[in-house]
Structure 1
Amino acid sequence: MKKLLQISLALAAASGAAAAQAQDVKAGEKKIAMCIGCHGIPGYQASFPEIHKVPMIAGQNAKYIVAALQGYAKGDRRHPTMRSISASLSEQDMADIAAFYAQQAQLPAAPESVPAAPANVAELLTKGACVSCHGANFSKPIDPTYPKIAGQHADYLTVALKSYKVEKNANVGRNNGVMQGQVKQFSNAELKAIAAYIGSLPSELATVPQSKLRH
């Protein structure tokens, strides 16, 4: 457990340094035209690599959004659409967009205590040391470059978790030493059970409806 935390903090420090940019919410609002077609439609579903709801990003940690966008741009996160979009953004664009989405939802803070997981899922969460990085309520990660995941769409969480198991695929998969090591312990059915529980928790995340026809 101690070694896992040391690795996690080291990765977080590196990501945080890369994400250090002044953020401008107003500027970010003007740069999200490529985002709202998916992230601005409640319940919108993607079909790649399988059908799932696109993640809620309003209310997410700004530094995590930047880290995710950087990951797509560099190819550490492999997804053709997201890589194309992210590669077109400057570091300042990423920082501004992240700042906008971080404040967009304005939801109450998630409660410190959340409903207990079923016994079988609690065992899986302990095995994966999930709270060590994402917090006891899964809305307070130990570093802001890690995501809030409580209440996130369960089908998206399942797809995201499975992506850490994918190797040698140019269009699918994610590179992260900690997550890859943890996720490979579990079957896809176990990952789905973990995602279902986490997705059922009180959340600080939302999808805020937005129209492409903005003035």
Structure 2
Amino acid sequence: MNKLLTTMIGLAVASVTAFHTTAAFAQEVTGNVENGQKKVAMCIGCHGIVGYQSSFPEVHKVPKISGQSAKYIAAALNAYKAGERKHPTMRGIADSLNDQDIADVSAYYAQHGKAANAPEVPAEPARKPSAQVDALLKKGACVSCHGTNFAKPIDPAYPHIAGQHADYLFVALKSYKQENNAKVGRTNGVMAGVAKQFSNAELKAMANYISSLDGDLKVVPQSEFRR
């Protein structure tokens, strides 16, 4: 069993590297924070409103993206653009952005809302999971990519997930289990392999725990109107 798990993790690392080829290309373009601030009008109507909910594919809060890794934001936008993430609204937005736009928007949100003297997220979660959730997290080898505290991933192309909205995490995890749906689903082979090991109830339990942890993700209120 241990040998099988080691093999799976090795294959996961190799597959994720391949998956992010498009994102790595985009990141060759240097993002400019000030320019990014001028390009987020299409983002703030959802991601800049505290408690804002999406109704597709089910009702859930839109993800916190302020404080997220720039490389991950770029990876996600490129995945929507390529159709690897199936979400009509996000694909439409991503299609409107060129590589420079994506780099600028990603750079802007990576630093957005960060205080100069903000404390570091603890290296170990302050809240321990239940025995059930602990077993699920170990089965999925979640910390091998997302870090022990789920806020310091081993590669900046992987998301910070500590403190992310639980309902969003649940919807995102379920999307990796979707197949043959033109509007819903994500085609990351690694995450699909992980998510399909679990029932939806188990995914929800993990999402609830990860959401409860301290992290550096935020929703920073922004005006929907710019001059």
Structures share fold, TM-score greater than 0.5:
yes
Shift of 1:67: 0.3
- From 110, 129, 133, the equivalent of 2:141 is 129
TM-score (norm 2): 0.91
Shift of 1:113: 1.1
Cα displacement string for residues 37-68 of structure 1 (whole angstroms, at most 9, x for unaligned residues): 00000110000000000000000000000000
Gaps of 5+ in 1: none
Q: Secondary structure at the match of 2:154?
A: coil
Cα displacement string for residues 144-180 of structure 1 (whole angstroms, at most 9, x for unaligned residues): 0100000000000000000000000010000111100
- From 60, 65, 70, the equivalent of 2:68 is 60
Indicate if the aligned counterparts of 1:5 and 1:133 stay in contact, CA closer than 8 A.
Answer: no
- From 174, 177, 181, the equivalent of 1:169 is 181
* Cα distance in 2 for residues equivalent to 1:160 and 1:182: 12
Q: Secondary structure at the match of 1:139?
A: coil
* Cα distance in 1 for residues equivalent to 2:134 and 2:69: 25
Indicate if the aligned counterparts of 2:22 and 2:78 stay in contact, CA closer than 8 A.
Answer: no
User: What residue is the counterpart of 2:84 in the other structure?
Assistant: 76
Q: Secondary structure at the match of 1:35?
A: helix
Indicate if the aligned counterparts of 1:4 and 1:178 stay in contact, CA closer than 8 A.
Answer: no
Residues 139/15 of structure 1: CA separation in 2 closer, same or farther (3 Å cut): farther
User: What residue is the counterpart of 1:118 in the other structure?
Assistant: 130
Are residues 1:198 and 2:210 paired? Answer: yes
- From 19, 26, 35, the equivalent of 2:26 is 19
Q: Secondary structure at the match of 1:60?
A: coil
Q: Kindly provide the amino acid, as one letter, of the partner of residue 211 in structure 1.
A: S
Which portions of structure 1, spanning 4 or more consecutive aligned residues, are displaced by more than 4 angstroms?
A: none
Are residues 1:38 and 2:46 paired? Answer: yes
Cα displacement string for residues 179-198 of structure 1 (whole angstroms, at most 9, x for unaligned residues): 00010000000000000000
Are residues 1:213 and 2:219 paired? Answer: no
- From 3, 12, 19, the equivalent of 2:7 is 3
* Cα distance in 2 for residues equivalent to 1:91 and 1:3: 35
- From 67, 78, 102, the equivalent of 1:94 is 102
Shift of 1:17: 2.5
TM-score (norm 1): 0.96
Give me the identity figure in percent: 60
Residues 112/15 of structure 1: CA separation in 2 closer, same or farther (3 Å cut): farther
Shift of 1:16: 5.2
Q: Kindly provide the amino acid, as one letter, of the partner of residue 19 in structure 1.
A: A
User: What residue is the counterpart of 1:109 in the other structure?
Assistant: 120
Q: Kindly provide the amino acid, as one letter, of the partner of residue 24 in structure 2.
A: A
Indicate if the aligned counterparts of 1:72 and 1:86 stay in contact, CA closer than 8 A.
Answer: yes
Total equivalences in the alignment: 215
- From 150, 162, 175, the equivalent of 2:162 is 150
Shift of 1:3: 3.3
Q: Kindly provide the amino acid, as one letter, of the partner of residue 110 in structure 1.
A: V
